[in-house]
Amino acid sequence: SQTIHQWPATLVQPVGSPLSLECTVEGTSNPNLYWYRQAAGRGLQLLFYSVGIGQISSEVPQNLSASRPQDRQFILSSKKLLLSDSGFYLCAWKKTGGVDEQYFGPGTRLTVT
Amino acid sequence: GNSVTQMEGPVTLSEEAFLTINCTYTATGYPSLFWYVQYPGEGLQLLLKATKADDKGSNKGFEATYRKETTSFHLEKGSVQVSDSAVYFCALSGGTGGSYIPTFGRGTSLIVHP
């Protein structure tokens, strides 16, 4: 069966510090991968998605970046965090090319102080 | 482009009450439709889905029917429990044009009191 992992689970970082959040998927190959942010109030904001190694599409211009160094690894980064980067970050995957459902990770709660 | 509209929350019910959360969508063709649930502090989980018109998705007592004529996918449950308190998201994927980036509604918070 497939599983998705995210870490860390929680993170408190000062303004201006760097960020690295990691997501890995097990039990499948060549998944589509997604990063979402969920600010207070519930809505999901798609940040990045990837259909293959090294292929990243950005949905929202901001000080975040994403990378996919391996087939089942997706990393969200920032060189300098802003207060507005605080939120709940969710990684998700789905099968390539279809209209199947997404599978979400447990999330990372980021607080920028 | 595709869009999903959900009723504003929070929806507050007493235990054993009937639940309806409305969801309508805009898309060309025949997208797949989904309901996800998010419990506090967790990621989203698929609750149910329907892939073609008139399909009924069901799981854990929840049901939703894909209505092409009204472009709707309303979520229903006959008798809610306190443990159903969560945020519910309606979503779609696909349709004409083949966009595989899912479109989500803004979510509806459900609070069930004992």
What is the residue-level pLDDT of chain B in tens, covering all 114 positions?
A: 889 999 888 999 999 999 999 999 999 888 999 999 999 999 999 999 999 999 999 999 999 999 999 999 999 999 999 999 999 999 998 877 666 789 999 999 999 999
pLDDT of amino acid B74: 98
Cβ–Cβ below 8 Å for B44 and A32: no
Closest in B51, B101, B107 to A43, CB measured:
B107
Q: Burial code of A82-111, b = ≥16 C-beta within 10 A, e = fewer?
A: eeebbbbbbbbbbbeeebbbbbbbebbebe
pLDDT of amino acid B98: 61
Distances (CA, A) of B106 to A41, A45, B7, B83: 9, 10, 9, 21
Which of the two residues, B57 and A1, has the higher pLDDT score? B57
Give the tokens for residue B28. 């060309």
pLDDT band at A37 (very low <50, low <70, confident <90, very high): very high
pLDDT of amino acid A41: 72
Residues of B in contact with A106 (CB under 8 A): 42-43
Which of the two residues, A98 and A18, has the higher pLDDT score? A18
pLDDT of amino acid B97: 62
Which of the two residues, B79 and A59, has the higher pLDDT score? B79
pLDDT band at A61 (very low <50, low <70, confident <90, very high): low
Q: Is B69 on the interface with A (CB under 8 A)?
A: no
Cβ–Cβ under 8 Å, residues B64 and B48: yes
Residues of A with CB under 8 A from a CB of B: 32, 42-44, 46, 49, 59, 90, 92, 94, 97-107, 109
The beta strand positions in B2-61, using DSSP E, are: 3-6, 11-14, 19-21, 23-26, 31-38, 44-50, 56-59
Chain B, 82 to 111: residues with Cβ < 8 Å from chain A are 87, 89, 93-94, 100-102, 104, 106-107, 109
Cβ–Cβ below 8 Å for B109 and A100: no
pLDDT of amino acid B12: 97
DSSP character string of A9-73:
SEEEE-TT--EEEEEEEES-SS-EEEEEEE-TTS--EEEEEEEETTEEEESS-SSEEEEEEETTE
Is the peptide bond between A69 and the residue preceding it cis, with omega within 30 degrees of 0?
no
Give the tokens for residue B90. 């309606």
